[in-house]
Structure 1
């Protein structure tokens, strides 16, 4: 009797050892019973299997971070580039990921490479450099159909880097420099236009008020004198110069006879002294 009890205990221990399995929180268990898969995957915790009849395969349901190797292609505007990306996905249906595809990670990598090459050929260089959000959505949509068939959900796919030829980098640098120069000239011209507009308004205002011109002249003299310079630049109104010029021309004909009479008197005095 004790021997039989010992045998039963040993058989029970062997049964538990071969039938009890532990499924971790980040795993799901896919059970095959006599080669046929069970409809539902086993949840985390302890699970019992029938020895010899059941076999369980654990599937990791954590998010997988997969780098996509750089793919070389020609863009829509005929520029050769090399683009690499990164893919984030996870298994949401362990049964499909186990039964419908041999290696879902390798399959997702191949789909990602093919989709990346396809998106390069459909996009222009400016889209690859600045409009990446739309490209990310396009990549995810292209990969969504096969991934759903394999029980995989794509969380995120992003382009990491775009490698350009050196000649294209130099061309883009020249283009950027020319664009900055264009914007600088436009800003300068706009400033000149605004300044000319304000000066025209100020000139119209001063033209109606001559005293304002004089006050502005005195203010300019004060500002120049405050610099303690040895030379003082004094603006002179053009109208005043014209006034002096007109009076000089009127006085010039009367001054000529007087000068000739004075010259004759001087000559007469010299002759008298000589005699």
Structure 2
């Protein structure tokens, strides 16, 4: 999964060209916005900055993706046809030129049930078998040249492969990793690991803030990032257990290493 382009990454860099009936195109973009963009935006908006600002940035660019997908471009690697039949055709560059590869086809689409075919089409696009991202050269390569047991170019011959017009920097299957107050987020340059902290600008008004505690190389897979987050959780132990009420809470709500703020004030008469 980490070595495949996502729907978001394809739309963000003019990799998709869409033609067909306007009604189907409208349904396609409505589904893409909801499934692949707004789910992420709504999640980010539940947090304070920097995540809230990131949500606004993504939201501001969504309408531009539709415009980009309506024009033929030399960078296109997929053509989506939404006519009476639905198809996805990949354009694969090679040393001998280009060739087409059909990766999805649904014949005689029922207009009243078209959304089901659109969802299936998007799933194929999101996990397309036509290409893969080499984990060594970080380029998009024809899947026919993928090593049998590794996510890299066959025989490690990266220099001999034809690179498809695509940047892996836009592929993001990392975000959403969250464990005990530690969260991983990826941008176009690196992966940031944040620790959520609670500040108290006023005695009864906590404020959530996020502190970058580690940066990771952008090419790490989701599994590798999850492992890094688990190591940090074991090291920092952001979730503590109160020695009195035995509740497990974030370390920012502990009065000291033994008791939470609630027990410190309610049971031990601490005033703060």
Would the TM-score normalized by the shorter structure come out above 0.5? no
Rg (Cα) greater in structure: 1
Hey, which of these two has a bigger chunk of helix by percent? Answer: 1
User: TM-score by structure 1 length?
Assistant: 0.22
Question: Which has the bigger relative contact order, CA under 8 A and spacing at least 6?
Answer: 2
